[in-house]
Amino acid sequence: MTEHDYWKIFPRMPRKVTIGDITVRDGFQHLEKFISTRAKIFYAEEMIFAGCRNIEVTNLGNPYLMPQFSDAEEVLGYLRSDRFRSKCAKRGIDYDDICITAVTIREKSVDRAIELRQKGIGPDRCLMMVSTEEEHHFANSGTSLPDYWKECERSIRKCRDAGMKMCGTVSTIWGSPIAGATELQDAVEFTKRFLEIGASDIEHADHDGSASAPDVYRYFSMILDEIPDTSVHIAHFHETKRVAAASVLAALQAGITHFEAVLGGMGGQPANFLDDCPVPGTGEYYYEDPRYVGLVCLEDTLVQIDEMGIEHGYNVDRVLWLGRQIERTVGQRLRSEAVINGRTLKEGYPQFARPGLKKVKERFQEAPGQKLPADWDQKAVLPEHLRSRG
């Protein structure tokens, strides 16, 4: 007979996961509208109050290129303020459990993070990124892979000396939006290289929605076979074909316990137009229609994981409320289905029941809860040709 226990079929699948929120950085970076500092602080703070403990809040790169993050120091400053710490304490949140991340693609950005750290407002964790496909890597960083690896090595050493962690992102694992197909083994090797030079953890990234569930399962099985400590692996999926939920499930089945997501499924390449003016960003977009790019949606992913019975630490209803608010902030309908339809309630939706069933059952002399005719056998008997031979 077939095994019906999901956790026996996939023994590595976790009972508890960590979901990091990267809305305020990755989610907002693609918008062609400046999101106010107050709004950024609001969503960062509220996500923490809703249960998030790993949050990415800004990019410390050149604000001329990405003016969406010209307020990086203000956002970080608030999250380091006594006021915010006090608000956490009142809610029973241990401030030291919160890990605040800033993206620092190049060494100059790492230097800026260190300066902010010395002022008391720097991040806990920085992030640098390599792509296994070099054209994509060059588009993001402006330099070659060998040169960038040496830069990462220096930067990680600097971060460690300053008391900060460095996350190493490995991208184009399942394909590149520029050069197409890639080799999974290259990403396994790049993961090892990042860890070898001192990265604290690895973000395994599908940056253009190339991933398919079988290859996600295969890749993360390869990774965990060689580096079994699940605490150092983070799954990061983009959504371009409505299949990212399958990738999340495949990663869970492989044994991954850490994920990242964004409210509303926003995100993508940094905007090259902001408010009323073209801006550099990272150049031309990789895609023809920017409406259909973004990260896996936090609200929907959270509901998916919650309804699987996997512990996650979030107040789901609060996150769904925030998802509705952020649509008002950005001024458009976003990609979450859960903010509209909510969760599947075990108690059902009795307000939608049609009147009269009780009277009908009484007229037919049926017992309450009776689902089959009284003169039928208790067990169904299948026709001989349809019966299991097992």
For residue range 47-72, list pLDDT tens digits in order. 999 999 999 999 999 999 999 999 99
Same-domain check for residues 136 and 237 = yes
Same-domain check for residues 92 and 210 = yes
pLDDT tens digits, one per residue of 166-199: 999 999 999 998 999 999 999 999 999 999 999 9
Instruction: Give the distance, in angstroms, between the CA of residue 8 and the centroid of all CA atoms in the same chain.
Output: 26
Same-domain check for residues 42 and 150 = yes
CA separation for the pair 45, 293 (Å, rounded) = 26
What is the Cα Rg of the chain in Å?
A: 24
pLDDT tens digits, one per residue of 87-139: 999 999 999 999 999 999 999 999 999 999 999 999 999 999 999 999 999 98
Q: Angle, nearest 10°, between helix axes 37-49 and 72-79? A: 30
Residue 388 has pLDDT above 90, yes or no: no
Q: What's phi and psi for 202, nearest 5 deg?
A: -125, 125
pLDDT classification of 156: cutoffs 50, 70, 90: very high
Same-domain check for residues 179 and 262 = yes
Domain membership of residue 61 (yes or no) is yes
Contact 103, 68 (CB under 8 A): no
Domain membership of residue 37 (yes or no) is yes
pLDDT tens digits, one per residue of 15-27: 999 999 999 999 9
* Structure confidence at residue 151 (pLDDT): 98
Same-domain check for residues 363 and 337 = no
pLDDT tens digits, one per residue of 130-154: 999 999 999 889 999 999 999 999 9
Domain membership of residue 348 (yes or no) is no
Residue 367 burial (10 A CB sphere; 0-12, 13-18, 19+) = exposed
Look up the domain containing 376 and give its range: 356-386
Q: What is the DSSP letter of 23?
A: I
Same-domain check for residues 372 and 324 = no
Same-domain check for residues 257 and 376 = no
**Residue among 48, 2, 14 nearest 254 (CA):** 14
* Structure confidence at residue 371 (pLDDT): 96
CA separation for the pair 386, 384 (Å, rounded) = 5
Give the chain's length.
390
Q: What angle do CA 147, 148, 151 make, to 5 degrees?
A: 95
Q: 21 has which bridge partners?
A: 55, 261
Domain membership of residue 142 (yes or no) is yes
CA separation for the pair 207, 244 (Å, rounded) = 11
This prediction has a pTM of: 0.94
Same-domain check for residues 97 and 195 = yes
Residue 290 has pLDDT above 90, yes or no: no
Same-domain check for residues 222 and 265 = yes
Q: What is the DSSP letter of 386?
A: G
Domain membership of residue 347 (yes or no) is no
pLDDT tens digits, one per residue of 335-348: 999 999 998 888 88
**Residue among 101, 230, 115 nearest 166 (CA):** 101
pLDDT classification of 237: cutoffs 50, 70, 90: very high
Domain membership of residue 350 (yes or no) is no
Contact 157, 115 (CB under 8 A): no
> Would you report the helix, strand and coil content of the chain in percent, each value rounded to 5?
45, 15, 40
Same-domain check for residues 309 and 363 = no
CA separation for the pair 20, 51 (Å, rounded) = 10
**Residue among 75, 67, 118 nearest 100 (CA):** 75
pLDDT classification of 288: cutoffs 50, 70, 90: confident
**Residue among 102, 111, 9, 93 nearest 47 (CA):** 93
pLDDT tens digits, one per residue of 248-260: 999 999 999 999 9
* Structure confidence at residue 390 (pLDDT): 66
DSSP string, 249-309: HHHHHHT--EEEEBGGG---SPPSEETTEE--TTSS-SSS-GGG--BPBHHHHHHHHHHTT
* Structure confidence at residue 345 (pLDDT): 86
Contact 255, 220 (CB under 8 A): yes
Q: 258 has which bridge partners?
A: 18
Looking at the structure of the chain, the number of domains it has is: 2
Percent above pLDDT 90 for the chain: 89
Residue 289 has pLDDT above 90, yes or no: no
Contact 134, 88 (CB under 8 A): no
Same-domain check for residues 259 and 333 = yes
Same-domain check for residues 128 and 82 = yes
CA separation for the pair 211, 234 (Å, rounded) = 15
